[in-house]
Amino acid sequence: MTSVHYEQRDQPDGVPPLALTGERTLPDVPEENYWFRRHLVVYEWIAARVAGMRVVDMACGEGYGADVLARSAASVVGVDANPQAHEHAHLRYRRANLRFERDLVDTFPEPADAVVFLQTVEHLTDPGATLAHFRTLVADSHAGGDGGTVFVSTPNVLTLAPTGAQRSGNPWHVHEYRAQEFERLCCACFSDVRMYGLFHARKLRAHELALRLGWDAVHPRLHLTKRFYDWFTPAIAVSDFAVCPAGEARLDSALDLLAVCRP
């Protein structure tokens, strides 16, 4: 949630910029770069695993993720019900194997080898029904086989919410998940669920350690706050995050939770 109005910068001619509302993240907003890269790294991780497949990116928003998936997939459909997001994505991202459809995620009917559904399940009042619909889409695409794959991610409430709070203050979230609860939700719809976590790496890990050592008390006294974060936030890259499987890292400390689900 943001109280300051931010809008995308430097959009191509004829492409209307989107405003940052807190409901979705956007590229081309320097102040939003941390969240954009945090989402982008998961799209890139998935893109490496869907090469040559037919993919549906559900709740695709601005469209950047569908565009990343289309770099390796045989075809990608970005699905979103928001008219402004749909118009923007359709005008901005153009590839022969990429198209955008304005539809609801729980009614879009096209089968796929993979369904991608990132940072949206926490917005749903009936997430089980939506995941069951996705299971049908990937199962139908592999008649007689093992079915395709559904990738689902959500923020970890244990690291998203302020210390001591039960949930974050994001008004768009209906329910925020802990790792075990999120895994149970996915296991209720899929027979094979592999859990992963997203963590800070490189300079974000160094910044995390600096905060533990009292950096937040130092930079205001040195009058460095604005200068430091005006440099630091836009400099964050995908490489400053890491996707790790459960077992290699404790999911309770993950930033985001990622489930790779098969029927």
Question: Can you read off the two tokens belonging to residue 32?
Answer: 């939003």
Within-domain flag for 78: yes
Instruction: Tell me the per-residue pLDDT of 139-197, one tens digit each, with 9 for 90 and over.
Output: 866 544 567 999 999 999 999 988 878 888 888 899 999 999 999 999 999 999 999 99
29 contacts 37 by C-beta, under 8 angstroms: no
**Which element (helix H / strand E) includes 207?**
helix 202-212
- The domain tally of the chain equals 1
DSSP-assigned letter for residue 241: E
105 contacts 130 by C-beta, under 8 angstroms: yes
Question: Residue 147 is part of a domain; what is its CATH number?
Answer: 3.40.50.150
Within-domain flag for 15: no
Query: Residue 216 and residue 191: Cα distance in Å, rounded?
Result: 45
Residues spanned by the domain of 76: 30-200+244-262
Query: Residue 235 and residue 248: Cα distance in Å, rounded?
Result: 27
Instruction: Tell me the per-residue pLDDT of 93-105, one tens digit each, with 9 for 90 and over.
Output: 999 999 999 999 9
Within-domain flag for 164: yes
- How does DSSP assign 167-207, residue by residue? S-S-TT-S--B-HHHHHHHHHTT-SEEEEEEEEE-HHHHHH
Question: Can you read off the two tokens belonging to residue 60?
Answer: 């695709």
Instruction: Tell me the per-residue pLDDT of 193-236, one tens digit each, with 9 for 90 and over.
Output: 999 999 999 999 999 898 888 888 888 888 888 988 989 999 99
**Where residue 15 falls among pLDDT bands split at 50, 70, 90?**
very high
pLDDT of residue 141: 62
Within-domain flag for 80: yes
pLDDT of residue 143: 44
Q: State the amino acid at position 215 in one-letter form.
A: W
Instruction: Tell me the per-residue pLDDT of 125-139, one tens digit each, with 9 for 90 and over.
Output: 999 999 999 999 998
Within-domain flag for 169: yes
Report the predicted TM-score, pTM, of the whole model to 2 decimal places. 0.93
pLDDT of residue 147: 77
185 contacts 177 by C-beta, under 8 angstroms: yes
Q: State the amino acid at position 50 in one-letter form.
A: V
DSSP-assigned letter for residue 76: E
Within-domain flag for 207: no
Within-domain flag for 163: yes
Within-domain flag for 6: no
C-alpha angle 222/225/231, rounded to 5°? 125
